[in-house]
């Protein structure tokens, strides 16, 4: 199993990148850089590409609305060139708060737009002339659609390192998961629960894989989790509190009632009553109570927290559920202990 790790996007590039060399020596396979309403991820990814030699780098994620499809393709080609073929383009729909509120562009038709973005990106990397006339992406614009009509199809000037750069889709809704299994090299779900994964994702994955082009190869499932290997009960409890806080934020606070995709996922995992209670508490401002209301087996199930033997068992559970890449957040307090945790995890596989 491959091991990845997300990098914080809230700090400076120099500080976060300086420690990656230690993780690279420890055997880390992939580094993911998120983009929210922070410094842009592309600058950070370029900095990482220049400061590393073997670790793969991935955007995790760039939203599909704030950059045109051709710009996403150009950016990916540039990062792939800079890294010597180590880049994966991770994309996703994000949400209306970021896309409309922060970027000021409409959040419409995420499924169809994602499909068209994939089509355009792969055409650019093959150096085909882009003359795309999709329903949601139309280049060049015609006069009827507000353009000058003077645009003409163009192809990428540079020769990409690879004619098909791997693409990852962050998705948890059934239709988006099916799209990931159909069109993408990799799929990244949120708070993956091995024991509930078949109920939550099984049908969607099967639907998408039935339409999958064999040339794409097997789907890489890159699951997020949090990691602390320790015998100390107090350290375990503190780490699980961090897991609880993150779950409560997403299940309780990432959207209104009836419009929270993460809450919907908890329901599909089999925690409908608990998800409703967590959301009610969180939206009422009772964040600590919301975190405390999360079931213990759910919290422990999505994390790798505990003695070495327990973590090894959970690692096997993730593998048996089809996970091929673990995207881990080490929770140890000291940097040296976090690096050691990555080494230990690699040794368990």
pLDDT at 136: 63
CB contact at 8 A, 32 and 6? yes
pLDDT (tens digit, 9 = 90+) per residue, 145-155? 555 555 678 89
* pLDDT for residue 37: 86
> What is the CATH superfamily name and number for domain 2-224+311-348?
Luciferase-like domain (3.20.20.30)
Residue with tokens 């989790």: 225
**265, 190 contact by CB (below 8 A):** yes
Q: What is the pLDDT of residue 142?
A: 56
Q: What is the mean pLDDT of each run of 10 residues along the chain (349 residues)?
A: 88 79 94 91 94 94 94 98 98 89 92 94 93 62 57 87 97 97 97 97 98 97 97 97 97 89 96 98 97 98 98 97 97 95 92
The string of pLDDT tens digits covering residues 82-103 is: 999 999 999 999 888 789 989 9
pLDDT, residue 147, reads 57
Residue 95: the pLDDT is: 82
| CA atoms of 245 and 144, how far apart (whole Å) | 50
Which residues are CB-neighbours of 227 under 8 A, at least 6 positions away?
303, 304, 305, 311, 328, 329, 330, 331, 341, 345
CA-to-CA separations, 265 to 63, 201, 258, 289, 330, in angstroms, rounded: 21, 9, 12, 20, 24
């Amino acid at each position: 199993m491959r091991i990845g790790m997300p990098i914080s996007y809230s700090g400076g590039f120099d500080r976060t990148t300086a420690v990656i060399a230690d993780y690279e020596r420890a055997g880390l396979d992939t580094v993911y850089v998120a983009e929210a309403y922070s410094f842009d991820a592309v600058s950070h990814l370029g900095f990482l590409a220049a400061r590393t030699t073997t670790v793969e780098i991935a955007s995790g994620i760039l939203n599909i609305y704030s950059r045109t499809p051709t710009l996403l393709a150009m950016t990916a080609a540039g990062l792939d060139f800079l890294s010597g073929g180590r880049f994966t383009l991770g994309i996703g729909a994000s949400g209306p708060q970021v896309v409309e509120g922060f970027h000021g562009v409409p959040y419409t038709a995420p499924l169809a737009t994602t499909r068209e973005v994939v089509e355009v990106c792969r055409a650019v990397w093959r150096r085909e002339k882009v003359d795309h006339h999709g329903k949601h992406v139309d280049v060049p614009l015609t006069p009827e659609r507000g353009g000058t009509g003077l645009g003409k199809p163009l192809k990428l000037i540079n020769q990409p390192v690879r004619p098909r750069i791997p693409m990852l889709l962050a998705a948890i809704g059934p239709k988006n998961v099916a799209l990931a299994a159909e069109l993408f090299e990799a799929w990244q779900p949120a708070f993956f629960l091995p024991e509930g994964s078949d109920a939550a994702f099984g049908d969607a994955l099967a639907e998408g894989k039935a339409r999958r082009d064999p040339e794409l190869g097997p789907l890489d499932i890159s699951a997020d989790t949090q990691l602390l290997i320790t015998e100390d009960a107090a350290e375990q409890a503190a780490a699980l509190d961090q897991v609880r806080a993150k779950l409560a934020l997403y299940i309780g606070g990432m959207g209104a009632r009836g419009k929270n995709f993460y809450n919907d996922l908890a329901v599909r995992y089999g925690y409908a009553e608990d998800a409703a209670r967590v959301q009610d508490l969180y939206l009422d401002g009772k964040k600590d109570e919301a975190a405390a209301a999360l079931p213990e087996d759910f919290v422990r199930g999505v994390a790798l927290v505990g003695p070495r033997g327990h973590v090894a068992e959970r690692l096997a559970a993730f593998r048996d559920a089809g996970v091929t890449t673990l995207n881990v957040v080490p929770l140890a307090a000291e940097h040296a202990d976090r690096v050691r945790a990555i080494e230990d995890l690699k040794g368990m596989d």
